[in-house]
Amino acid sequence: MNTLKLRSLLEQYFIEDIGEQDITTDLIFTDDTNGEIVFLAKESGIFCGEEIIKTGFQLLNTTISAQVFVKDGQSFEIGQELAHVSGKIADLLKGERVILNLVQRMSGIATLTRKTVNTLDSGHTKICDTRKTTPGLRMLEKYAVRCGGGFNHRFGLYDGVMIKDNHISFAGSITKAVEAIRKNAGHMVKVEVEVESEEQVLEAVNAGADVIMFDNRTPNEIKELIKLVPPSIITEASGGIQLTNIADYRETGVDFISLGYLTHSYKALDISVKVRWNKGEE
C-alpha cells in the first residue's frame, strides 16, 4: 500500500468519527493513564490490516506501541489474539472503532478471495477484482484482494483502457473505438475490449486489442470463443460468475476471471477489541 495515501485516508476516517472530540472518552479519562487492548478473533479467516493497526494508532499518539502477531495474508483461528496495542487509554479508545472496522472488512475480503482462489483451483487462471469497490476504500480493498491470493484489475478509469458495450455503442463499432484509442494514446497503454459474440471477438482481434474480456458468457461459450483468440492476446472472463459456479470455469483456459463480489458482497470478519490491562489498576 502507498504509505502516504494510507495516512491521509486514516486521517479522514478519524476526523469523520472523532469530529471535535470524543466526548465520552474525554470526560471519563482526563489524565495520561495507560492501558492495553487486544484484537481477538471470534471466527477464523485470512488476516489483513497490519499497517492499519500500526499506522492508525501512531497517528493518534506516537507513543502508542502496537504488536501484530499475524502477517497480512496469514490464516488465523477462532480465539487467536491478533494484536496487542498499549498506550494512553484515551487514544486507544478514540482509535479502536475506525481501525477495527477496517481490519474486519479487509480481512473479510482477503478471506473471501482465498476461498475463491481455492475453489477455482486452477494452475493457470488468476482471480482478480473490479472497480466495484466501496467509495473511499478502493486502495485498501484491492490490497485485501492481493492478501487473499488474488490480483488487481485496473485501479480506476485512469490506469487502463477498457472498451465496454456502451463505449462501443457510442463509438459505432469496436474497430472505431480501438482506432480512436490508438490514435490518441501513448505506446504504453494497453487496450481491453469487452465482447459477447463470435463476431465481436474477431473484430477485437483484427482491431488489435491487447486483452479480450468475455462478458456474461457460459463456460462452454468461452471454450469456443477462446479458440478465435491468438495466444498473444490476454483473455478474461467476467459477469455472472459467483463462488457457487466458479469451478465450472476452471477448464475454460482464460488467463483471468474478474469478480465484483470480492469487494461488494463480502462479509466483514468477526473480530473484537477487548481491554487487556489498565495500569491504573495495578
Catalytic residue among 22, 91, 141, 194: 194
**Cell 506501541, located at residue:** 65
Q: Is 194 in the active site? A: yes
> What are the Cα distances from residue 245, in Å, to 2, 18, 120, 194, 195?
34, 43, 9, 21, 21
Contact 112, 264 (CB under 8 A): no
Catalytic residue among 7, 97, 223, 250: 97
Catalytic residue among 5, 71, 164, 227: 164
Q: Is 221 in the active site? A: no
Identify the bridge partners of residue 34 per DSSP, sorted by sequence position. Answer: 88
Q: Is 32 in the active site? A: no
Catalytic residue among 131, 132, 176, 190: 132
Helix axes 3-18, 138-147, angle to 10 degrees: 120
Contact 70, 113 (CB under 8 A): no
Which segments of the chain are extended strands (E)?
34-41, 45-46, 65-68, 75-76, 81-88, 126-128, 161-163, 191-195, 211-215, 234-238, 256-258, 271-278
Read off the DSSP letter of residue 151. Answer: B
**Cell 475506525, located at residue:** 98
Considering only CA atoms, which of 66, 47, 70, 46 is closest in space to residue 55? 66
The answer to whether the Cα torsion of 117, 122, 123, 124 is positive or negative is negative
Q: Is 215 in the active site? A: yes
Pairing relation of β-strands 211-215 and 65-68?
unpaired
Considering only CA atoms, which of 261, 256, 266, 260 is closest in space to residue 122? 256
Q: Which residues are catalytic?
A: 97, 132, 164, 194, 215
